[in-house]
Amino acid sequence: MKRALIAVYRVRMLILLVSTGILLAIALFGPLLAGVPRSVRSTLVGVALCGWGLTLVLVLLGPRVLPHSEAVRVESPVRGRWLAMNSPASKVPSHGVRMYGQAYAIDLVHEPDRESRPVFGTGSAMRPNDDYPAFGQPVFAMVDGVVVKASDWRRDHRARSTVPGLLYLMVEGMIRELGGPGFIVGNHVTIRTDEGQYATVAHLQRGSVSVRVGDTVRRGSAIAKCGNSGNSTEPHVHAQLMDRRSLFLAQGVPMVFTGITLGADPELHDALPRNEQHMGVAGGERAPR
């Protein structure tokens, strides 16, 4: 029973999309369905509503039945001084939802000591990416393994740096959802480990990915650059560990970065920074744009 529930939980997004699609089709193309018996249309509406209800039940019950695992030690995907946002060290799920395998994902924003990062709410609604220190910074493999996904054709949009820009991003995100998870995470690389975990870094810069599907990589090797593709407010690195290759089916796996400093503490830790906490990683020289 538990296995069956977990299997259905994995496809909850597909159930929701199909249910929503049925209702939208009936609402938009109602006149064209005049020849369809009313009982059939009522059945379709009932199926769609049941799909919504099932999705809600799965979202509420899923975390109670999902298997729990120990945090996996991985290498940081960035170097230098970075600020944590949406960190699982502060709350789980870190991004408010468990979909797309991001229950334990973390967002990292570059804040070097000698270079300022634009403050949200100042300047234009959509700042150029070059205003942000993170844009163009090298991104590194978190694990040893084989590349199973490598995408870098999506554009880097401008930062959504004010409240109007953020509202625009929310509407934009709804449209991106229709294209599937690839349009949400933007350009990304996923690496499969020998142990069967999948490490993903996302929101990468267009044209910057230096690995291809089938390549074997070592942890710490440069694989791309930080960008602002997908559903992103500003240039940053999104990192997560999953139990499946598919973002649609994957569940998040806990992870910690090895050998990082936290805040002003000079000691090295195997951990993740909390929200609004800085982490330092050796080798943080400013990279050329």
The secondary element (H helix, E strand) that includes residue 73 is strand 72-74
Domain count, the chain: 2
pLDDT at 8 over 70: yes
Answer yes or no: do 161 and 83 share one domain: yes
The contacts of residue 163 (CB under 8 Å, 6+ apart) are 121
- Name the strand (E) or helix (H) holding 109: strand 106-110
Query: How far is CA 58 from its chain centroid?
Result: 21
Name the burial class of residue 151, with classes exposed (0-12), middle (13-18) and buried (19+) by CB atoms within 10 angstroms of its CB. buried
Q: Encode pLDDT of 82-139 as tens digits.
A: 999 999 999 999 998 888 999 999 999 999 988 788 887 677 778 899 999 999 999 9
pLDDT tens-digit series, residues 238-255 = 999 999 999 988 989 999
Together in a domain, 200 and 160: yes
Domain that holds residue 158: 72-281
In whole angstroms, give the CA distance from residue 150 to residue 223: 10
Residues 144, 26, single domain; the answer is no
Assess if residue 261 is contained within a domain: yes
> 135, 228 in Cβ contact below 8 A?
yes
Question: Is the residue at 289 inside a domain?
Answer: no
47/98 same-domain check: no
CB burial of residue 209 (10 Å; 0-12, 13-18, 19+) = buried
Tell me: do 141 and 41 sit in the same domain.
Answer: no
- Shared domain check, 132 and 184: yes
Q: Is 62 exposed, middle or buried (0-12, 13-18, 19+ CB in 10 A)?
A: middle
Give Cα separations from 66 to 15, 92, 115 (angstroms): 18, 13, 43
Please check whether residue 85 lies inside any domain of the structure.
yes
**Residue 280 three-state SS:** strand
* 33-90: pLDDT as tens digits: 667 787 877 888 888 888 888 888 777 766 666 667 789 999 999 999 999 999 999 9
Q: Does position 1 have pLDDT exceeding 70, yes or no?
A: no
* Residues 133 and 207: beta-carbon distance below 8 Å: no
- Residues 52 and 116 reside in one and the same domain: no
Q: What CATH number does the domain containing 162 carry?
A: 2.70.70.10
**Same-domain check for residues 108 and 46:** no
| Residue 288 falls inside a structural domain | no
CA distance 135 to 132: 6
